[in-house]
Amino acid sequence: MERLSVRQARQKEAIGQQAFVQGWIRTRRDSKGGFSFLEVNDGSSFGNLQVIAEAALPNYETEVKHLGAGCSVSIEGEVKASGGKQATEVLASKVTVHGWADPETYPLQKKQHSLEKLREWAHLRPRTNTFGAVTRVRNCVCRSIHNFYQEEGFLYIHSPIITASDCEGAGAMFRVTTLDLEKLPLKDGKVDATQDFFGRPSYLTVSGQLEAEIFACALGKVYTFGPTFRAENSNTSRHLAEFWMVEPEVAFNDLNDNMSLAERFLKRLFRDALSQCDEDMKFFHEHYDKEIISTLEQIVTKEFIRCPYTEAVSILEQCGEKFEYPVSWGIDLQSEHERYLTEKHFKSPVILFDYPRSLKPFYMRVNDDGRTVRAMDVLVPKVGEIIGGSQREERLDVLTQRMAEQHLRAEDYWWYCDLRRYGTVPHAGFGLGLERAVQFITGMQNIRDVIPFPRTPGSADF
């Protein structure tokens, strides 16, 4: 007898096989003919396996007829062709119950719960259709990320989680401390942060970029992919305090190369999700966003629009739309502006580039105009910014001047400056927020619903 996943047992190639399948009951229906249909799911596919349990089973009256949502079972039986919507079903010769779920108290009864409610049950929501589908798509995206970069010859680098460097300079870092909080050393009446990590300051990383640059400036093409942290006390539908970021970094690439890499990379993720998660994508299409499949299908065949920041600002100034946040050259574009550009004006993903120097961190390559830097943001409909990147400043003198402008001490970044001091090269890279990508692909509106354990202000229990 073969142990089959639900996915395998649902395929017509399995017809005729003796199968052993294990999973959780989604529903039970009793037929008038004296047998029951059990819908079983084990996470391997969106669709359930239909199991027919006949009255002749020795535990039919005592157990099978009491099964309900959430109970765990093992099924032995023959895979048969089904007359219903699905290709196969299993005629059970044995049903073993492992664990009961009291229908009086089991929270996931037939009734649909709101996504907000499900967030309170982070330990049970993987059992829902939505969360199973999100988890499989997220997994597919992660697999594609590695496949894409590995096939292109990139090396996977592990950048540190604990670090002293504030890459974004936005002051949104979580402090890490080994200090006994009861006996904090104080300096001028304040906590002495320089003592945090065994006598050194330290934080949770906001980005692995600076460390990735170290490796790119030695080994050419590298990427990091790991958790990053931002202590932003924001309650939006697209920000988390802990999220995953993919950051490729490539020596000898300029901003154009960087834009092309980002576009090819995103298209690969979208294509793989469409082809490898078709059942899950159909579910998102039916339940969350009626346009998501056609939008993705169109996006993978068309070129992304590339538009300088300055031109985007003129478009926004002249479009006649009433924005809550007024537009003028020099502002950091807000989500409403980004959505206008992608959804109404261009009706396409857009790569904005050459942003005002004053908006962006110290490491971005300054353009000849002196006012702008070689930054790029990839914007997609509904989600807005999904990628942020740039060509990096490779000239030591300009870099140190930019650090001074932003009140950073060059001696704290001596190692970063060394990359420019010895054999400097133009190089570029970007960061894709994994959750923003999954949000866009699934059409889920809230970022909290595409990560297993969302970390947002007030939620860090489990």
Binding interface with ligand ATP (CB under 6 A): 168, 230, 232, 238-240, 243, 245, 385-388, 431-433, 435-436
Cα distances (Å, whole numbers) of residue 118 to 99, 125, 253, 282, 454: 22, 6, 44, 21, 12
Residue identified by tokens 């950051």 is 247
Each residue of 27-36: b (16+ CB within 10 Å) or e?
ebeeeeeebb
Stretch that binds Mg ion, among 189-197, 261-269, 377-385, 446-454 (CB under 5 A): 377-385
Smallest separation, CB 345 to Mg ion (Å): 19
| Sign of the CA dihedral with 287 first, then 41, 145, and 298 last | negative
Q: What is the DSSP pairing of strand 18-31 with strand 2-3?
A: parallel
Residue 304 interaction partner, one of ligand ATP, Mg ion, none, beta carbon < 5-8 Å per kind: none
Give 178 or 233: the residue with its C-beta nearer to ligand ATP: 233
Residue type (1 letter), 118:
L
H helical segments located in 48-200? 115-120, 129-151
Smallest separation, CB 377 to Mg ion (Å): 6
Give 89 or 211: the residue with its C-beta nearer to ligand ATP: 211
Q: Classify residue 222 by its DSSP letter.
A: E
Stretch that binds Mg ion, among 58-66, 77-85, 114-122, 381-389 (CB under 5 A): 381-389
Q: Which helix (H) or strand (E) holds 31?
A: strand 18-31
Residue 240 interaction partner, one of ligand ATP, Mg ion, none, beta carbon < 5-8 Å per kind: ligand ATP
Give 42 or 166: the residue with its C-beta nearer to ligand ATP: 166
Residue 76 interaction partner, one of ligand ATP, Mg ion, none, beta carbon < 5-8 Å per kind: none
Helix-helix angle 292-299:278-287, to 10 degrees: 120
Give 23 or 433: the residue with its C-beta nearer to ligand ATP: 433
Phi-psi label, residue 287: left if phi above 0, alpha if psi -120 to 50, beta otherwise:
alpha
Give 57 or 375: the residue with its C-beta nearer to ligand ATP: 375
Give 47 or 384: the residue with its C-beta nearer to Mg ion: 384
User: How many CB atoms lie under 10 A from the CB of residue 356?
Assistant: 17
Give the integer Cα–Cα distance in Å for 220 and 155. Answer: 9
Smallest separation, CB 119 to ligand ATP (Å): 16
The answer to whether residues 243 and 435 touch, using CB atoms and an 8 Å cutoff, is yes
Q: What is the DSSP pairing of strand 350-356 with strand 305-308?
A: parallel
Smallest separation, CB 262 to Mg ion (Å): 12
Q: Which residues pair with 226 in a beta bridge?
A: 245
Residue 431 interaction partner, one of Mg ion, ligand ATP, none, beta carbon < 5-8 Å per kind: ligand ATP
Residue 213 interaction partner, one of ligand ATP, Mg ion, none, beta carbon < 5-8 Å per kind: none
Smallest separation, CB 455 to ligand ATP (Å): 9
Q: Which of residues 388-447 bind Mg ion (CB under 5 A)?
A: 388
Give 201 or 433: the residue with its C-beta nearer to ligand ATP: 433
Smallest separation, CB 339 to Mg ion (Å): 13
Q: Which residues pair with 281 in a beta bridge?
A: none
Give 16 or 457: the residue with its C-beta nearer to Mg ion: 457
Tokens standing for residue 119: 């967030």
Stretch that binds Mg ion, among 92-100, 142-150, 356-364, 386-394 (CB under 5 A): 386-394
Smallest separation, CB 254 to Mg ion (Å): 19
Smallest separation, CB 393 to ligand ATP (Å): 16
Q: What angle do CA 132, 138, 139 make, to 5 degrees?
A: 90
Contacts with Mg ion, residue ranges (CB under 5 A): 385, 388
